[in-house]
A and B are shown apart, each in its own frame.
Chain A
């Protein structure tokens, strides 16, 4: 909405909103990091060749990249799915984290607040420990079990935490999340101890990894991510209303419980889907929305759309680092997100304090 011009000479209104430059910087980040993800790797492939190869797949465009069959396959079947998966997981975790921070009015809220991580960890451990870990036929059971575990944990938290009678619903939900998470972590540890030979596999799940086998994971995750992110983005104005507290938000005409429920469902479902494919990648959901807030403004109308873009590009960058740093070995991406994210966040925190 353009600022309203003014007949007298006082200020014209410029409400919080996404300014085109912020949006452009987010899109640029995605494009640059995405390209880097396609170019860098054990087999060297030039930027130009990648661009030509991508253009070739556009309708009505016919070009020849000069990449052989092997390299074309590396771009299309190995690197691109991994980049897209990183974009989806990063965007989902960052957006869900931002939504949780708004809904619970708690800057420390992350997508795992209501027990998603513990539930997914338990589910994955059960799948691995019961020997399904290597896959039965086509279906990899680990994501399925992790997804179900995550949802069971969140639903339990919500049912336990939102019972009638408690005065402060936010606090009781968060506390229920703590209790449920500890419970599922205890279950996970129990199962893991009984099957100690699986510890290594479970450990990898806990640290997170963007593993792809072609486009299967992307196809699995994309519908959840797209729908959940769209729902959260559509409600971004409502999250700004929640920032004045439940009472005033109610007096302003917001059905607080319904909005909170819709957002918690969208954020938890999306997170559960992301976690089931990628394992427990920490830090993205907390650091990206905060960095966006410090750099571009505190309205959720700004934070959420930019978290989609910067969350995705941050995770792709972290993944690039994870597979390049100790080549040919691969580091768990959760280590990188914290290792890169923490210092970056400190810099943002300090510079934005200085500028105010």
Chain B
């Protein structure tokens, strides 16, 4: 198992500092959720860990620093599911999930039997084997999200980064997706770091919450510590009611001019 260690991570785009010294330790096998308002730097943090944007400071995956690691090697350690994945028109599910094997193939190599086995295992783990010969762009939102996760699983990396995995889904699919991720985490010994908009779901599924604001970690802790009315008001500028429940705090927006 592989954990994630970030120490003093800065990312700048031109004059804009997207991350300003983020410290974060995700233990091997843990599930951390990154929350925070729009523009707080959540996606940038994931992209920095995935090696897609240049970051200063230190990011380690297990014992290996991300900086300077060749792309192929990095992709075998960490899989990133972006918020709005590009679906090439007409591409079949099997071909799409096979893209996840890129890091396991040499420049001029084509897929071997082991690659097809990994694809089949990923699709079976997501109960999506029946979709294997459908075109990805013909699938429903929920099915499509499964296929995108299947591609990440086919990568067979130990760390899974999910950028807003539930945004496009209805509430039933949201729950199903997060339960699936939780099950896969246990079965495949994955370390999961996910950015999430839905604070209630984040609190219910993740072990630990990290709240970013303006590129800095402002609060981190278990759901009960991070999801308070005062914290949400301060960083989101939102008026909410937090109801405690056995499954975790439930964050409900309250109309501002209401009584």
Contact = CB atoms under 8 A, between A and B. Distances in A.
A252 B153 CA distance: 11
Interface in A7-45: 8, 10-16
B119 A244 contact: no
Contact of A252 (B75, B87, B92, B94): B75
A49 interface: no
A60 B70 CA distance: 53
Given A15-B92, A237-B110, A241-B102, A251 B85 contact: no
Contacts of B113: 1, 4
B254 interface: no
B108 A15 contact: no
A299 interface: yes
A255 B71 CA distance: 6
B76 A248 contact: no
A104 to B, nearest CB: 14
Nearest to B105: A237
A10 B129 contact: yes
A250 B71 contact: yes
A253 B103 contact: yes
Contacts of A247: 52, 82
B51 to A, nearest CB: 8
A244 B94 contact: no
A240 B95 contact: yes
30 contacts: A1-B113, A4-B117, A10-B130, A10-B132, A11-B130, A11-B132, A12-B132, A13-B94, A13-B120, A13-B132, A14-B94, A15-B116, A16-B91, A16-B92, A16-B95, A234-B107, A234-B108, A237-B110, A240-B88, A240-B99, A241-B102, A243-B86, A244-B85, A248-B85, A251-B50, A251-B52, A251-B79, A252-B99, A253-B75, A255-B71
Interface of B: 50-52, 70-72, 74-76, 79-80, 82, 85-92, 94-95, 98-100, 102-103, 105, 107-108, 110-111, 113, 116-117, 119-120, 129-130, 132-133, 155
